[in-house]
Structure 1
Amino acid sequence: MFPQSKFSRAFLHPRYWLTWFGVGVLWLLVQLPYPVLRFLGTRTGKLARPFLKRRESIAQKNIELCFPTLSREEREKLIAENFHSLGMALLETGMAWFWPDNRVRKWFDVDGLDNLTRAQAQNRGVMVVGVHFMSLELGGRVMGLCQPMMATYRPHNNPLMEWVQ
């Protein structure tokens, strides 16, 4: 396990106040019951879509390239679902950071963990490759509760976010 980065008094500078506010709001939100979070997450993604035109354009292009036979309505449905997932991913990040272990275990489980433990019992090295069907933050947290492991990520540009994470 790597030690958490140290808190710096510089994080109290006004340039970080908006980050502190956002982290505080995220912490407050994830105290809500999970069904409420699912509702809020999908609605947040829907509300964010008009403000994320570049992301919408990327999603449209990717879906057109991957699924050229889909109708315009079918592609639109996939894009809408993508934005629902985007909103949920924001809240899942807060869940990964702030939920206690017992709450994470209550709502999430891992199928196929027996394959991992069997390989380890045979002294075989294992590399777990995750797919991006859920927040990588939360996926890494759930897997870390099942088995000692580390998830990798690109460090944040904002040092306060690096400390929070």
Structure 2
Amino acid sequence: MTQYNSRFDTSLKAQHFLPKYWGTWILLGLLFIASFIPTGIRDKFAAWLADRFYNAKFLNKRKKIAFINIGLCFPEYSELEKDLLMRENLRSVAQITLALGEIAFRSPSFLKKRVNFIGEHYVKEAEAAGQAIIFLAPHCYGLDFAGVAAISARGYPLSSMFNDYKNPIFDWFVTNYRTRFSRLNDKGTLYHRSEGLKPCIKSLRDKAHFYYLPDEDHGRDSSLFASFFATQKATLPVIGRLAKLGRAIVIPTYTSYNAKTGKVDVICHAPLTDIPSGDEQKDTDLMNAAIERVVNENRAQYMWTLKLFKTRPEVGLKIYKQG
């Protein structure tokens, strides 16, 4: 068995039951109950909640960030189109949030039925060929359904990298459901970002696939600028290095909640055969072009509320300073 020394601590401690955390425990209890409510009823309630709170003051900051991002990427969008996109976005957030307990509390067989795994044949072909996979998965609200319900629950060994949360109870909850199936395998785990890329490369060489979120802004010193829709984005240029050192193929992956079917669509595109190219800029450009294609599967479910463009080509420009 390969030994993985993740810094994530998934154990509960006595202080986690102090009164200041009782509110979090109540919320987790509500997620447990919600995970057994019929999907149609829960989705309608979630959509009603989203519409009810769309204009709430506490959402104004995030909505402003989202409108800036959407405007940069799609300058042709009118204010009404941005608004409609974000209304749908918030409905998806509510529906996926209320379904989150399913990943933690429902059975593997239930989770498999909840997910429509489109393009799984690419994964099976890679496994049959003995190839490790980098799932290139931009930030969307259903990303945990892809990693846990579509990939890990089907027995595919998977590693990933995340930061911990400020709330230790929520950190315990998320870490446990993200690793509930990988703990059953002898490969794959969850790494802290501070551990760097070495554990991920080790996992890939051990044929544990890697779930990679590539679209955060890591600052000017760590990034290259590459096209992203109609703008330029500071992008971490590591995809070629990961693929080369991990001896892995890159499969663009996107998760979209389908309110019509009540299922989560996890969509794998064909592997990016041109990565690694040996050229960091070219690999980064190819990666961002692939992210564009998967986001276009459902633009409304991308995390537009993140500060995706905090680092601009123009030094000193702060587009979110009032956001």
Report TM bin, short chain.
0.7 to 0.9
**Runs ≥4 residues deviating over 4 A:** 1-4
Q: Which secondary structure does the structure 2 equivalent of 1:127 belong to?
A: strand
> Which structure has the highest helix share of the two?
1
In the alignment, the residues of structure 1 paired with residue 121 and residue 64 of structure 2 have an alpha-carbon distance, to the nearest angstrom, of 41
* Structure 1: runs of 5 or more not aligned: none
2:31 to 12, 22, 26: 26
1:36 to 34, 41, 51: 41
* Structure 2: runs of 5 or more not aligned: 175-323
Question: How many residues align structurally?
Answer: 165
Q: How does 1:65-76 map to 2 (within 5 A)?
A: 65-76=72-83
Q: Which secondary structure does the structure 2 equivalent of 1:104 belong to?
A: helix
The residue number in structure 1 matching 2:115 is 108
**Aligned AA (1:160):** I
Which is bigger in relative contact order (C-alpha 8 A, separation at least 6)?
A: 1
CA-atom RMSD in angstroms: 2.1
The residue number in structure 2 matching 1:152 is 161
The residue number in structure 1 matching 2:128 is 121
TM-score, structure 2 normalization: 0.47
- Name the larger-Rg structure: 2
TM-score, structure 1 normalization: 0.87
2:90 to 68, 83, 95: 83
After superposition, the Cα gap between the structure-2 partners of 1:74 and 1:89, relative to the gap in structure 1 and judged at 3 Å, is same
What's the CA shift string for 1:41-71, capped at 9, x where partnerless? Answer: 2223223321311111111111222221122
What's the CA shift string for 1:14-62, capped at 9, x where partnerless? Answer: 1101111111112112210112222222223223321311111111111
1:141 to 148, 151, 154: 148
> Which structure has the highest strand share of the two?
2
